[in-house]
Amino acid sequence: MSEVEYKGIKLKGSKLLLILPLLGTLGGALWAGFEGYARWVAMEDKINGYVAPDLSGFTLRLEVLEERIVSLQENVNIETSTLKELVGAAQDDARTIRTDIRNDVHEAHDQISNVDKRSRATEQDIRKSLRQTETDLRTMIDHASDRFDSKRNAIESDAQRRIELIDSKLSTLETKLREMLQRALDNPLAGQ
């Protein structure tokens, strides 16, 4: 018989008392090792069996959305450039008309000056008529300029409103896509 002492406690018995705890410890270690290995193999099977979710629908939607945005931008650019061309052409026409009218007015004034020698009363009537015509033309030119400005402002505000609407829709879509993608990424085993 052997005697074992541990921290003041004495045990008497066979060496079997020493071997049994040792065997229990070894058995527990082996069991933990086998259990860990089995879990590792199961995890490896799940990882190898993982199939990424099909995101082609999202890609297709993004492509369609990008196509629409490009189309809207092209339409806005075309409308803006067309408006600029119209305004530029109108300004050029107004300048040409103004120049032509001024030239005509000067020519008429010279002719009136020659006629003035004969009739001062007729000259006063003609000058009044020319002044009224010039005022009317300036009023018409100012009115046309105001109309062009208001049309341009209306088109610009409509384009700005459309841009803000597109930005709002894009932001909403981006948030939805981000949430859906996050859910898919947070749950990689959902396709199992």
The pLDDT tens digits along the chain (192 residues) read 566 676 777 766 666 666 777 888 899 999 999 999 999 999 999 888 877 777 777 778 888 888 888 988 888 989 888 888 888 888 888 889 889 888 888 888 888 777 667 777 777 788 899 999 999 989 998 898 888 888 889 888 998 999 999 899 999 999 998 998 888 778 767 655
Q: From the CB of residue 55, how many other CB atoms can be counted at a distance below 10 Å?
A: 13
Structure tokens at 63: 């492509």
Q: Where are the domains of the chain?
A: 2-48, 54-186
pTM of this structure: 0.28
Cβ proximity of 76 and 163 under 8 Å = yes
Q: How many CA atoms lie within 13 A of 45 on its CB side?
A: 6
The terminus-to-terminus CA distance of the chain in angstroms comes to: 61
Question: In three state form, how does the secondary structure of the chain look?
Answer: CEEEEECCEEEEECCHHHHHHHHHHHHHHHHHHHHHHHHHHHHHHHHHHCCCCCCHHHHHHHHHHHHHHHHHHHHHHHHHHHHHHHHHHHHHHHHHHHHHHHHHHHHHHHHHHHHHCCCHHHHHHHHHHHHHHHHHHHHHHHHHHHHHHHHHHHHHHHHHHHHHHHHHHHHHHHHHHHHHHHHHHHCCCCCC
Structure tokens at 22: 């040792």
